[in-house]
Amino acid sequence: MSHMPYIVGLTGGIGSGKSAAAQVFEELGATVIDTDAVAHALTGPGGAAMAPIRAAFGADYVTPGGALDRARMRELVFADAAKKRLLESILHPMIRTQTNELVQAARGPYVMLMIPLLIESQDYRKRCRRILVVDCPEELQRARVMARSGLDAAQVRAIMANQVSRAARLAAADDVIDNSQDLAQLRRQVEALHARYLQLAAGGA
């Protein structure tokens, strides 16, 4: 059995600033693995998940370039829970396998696993030694997502309503980064946590 690195699960609501935090952790030397990026690669042109997705959902959900038609699939699974489960049954095991390989190959002192739906997923919760939540007030989350995505307030509210509540996320957290201010304040918190994780990964207190 190869050595399992120390894994910290990083999560947070949409627009909370997970990516910004992850970037600083990466600069400091942690190995960051983004499960969304893994999913994106699997469903990109010629991705490993595309043959089973085409078989299960039909060519209508595949773009001419051979990638998943994300907008169309999003509409389908949003409206149909059985179809959502079907998609997950194809994607989740592949994401898990790929993520495991990346974890095993990690060379950093510890691994930061970015998982948008960490709190919802028992499987990932079991694998992470600690859970880090990037948090900010919900009105700030909404403003950030609207600024970045061009979605309107109602659309952003609908996405947030589909995610686990801020309270549930905070209740599950071992560590919390408060990202309600600027990047300098975010960086200070990341640096302090990085020092702590280095200690924990090395078997310190």
For residue range 21-68, what is the model confidence (pLDDT) as tens digits? Answer: 999 999 999 999 999 999 999 999 999 999 999 999 999 999 999 999
The Cβ-side half-sphere exposure at 189, using a 13 Å CA radius, reads 21
Find, among 130, 129, 113, the residue nearest to 31 by Cα. Answer: 113
Q: Give domain limits for the chain.
A: 1-30+110-205, 36-107
pLDDT at position 182, please?
87
> In which residue are the tokens 């699939």 written?
73
Alpha helix stretches (DSSP H) within 43-179: 50-57, 70-79, 81-105, 122-127, 138-149, 153-162, 166-172
Q: pTM value?
A: 0.86
Fold assignment, 1-30+110-205: Rossmann fold (3.40.50)
Q: Which two tokens stand for residue 201?
A: 């990964």
Find, among 47, 137, 122, 143, the residue nearest to 90 by Cα. Answer: 47
Rounded Cα–Cα distance for residues 96 and 202 (Å)? 25
In the chain (205 residues long), the average pLDDT of successive 10-residue segments reads 81 89 96 94 96 97 96 91 93 92 94 83 83 92 88 85 84 93 93 97 79
- In sequence order, the 6+-apart residues with CB closer than 8 A to the CB of 65 are 45
pLDDT at position 2, please?
52
Beta strand 111-114 with 31-34 is parallel
**Integer angstrom CA distances of residue 195 from 106, 125, 130, 167, 174:** 18, 22, 14, 27, 15
Q: Are 67 and 79 in contact (CB under 8 A)?
A: no
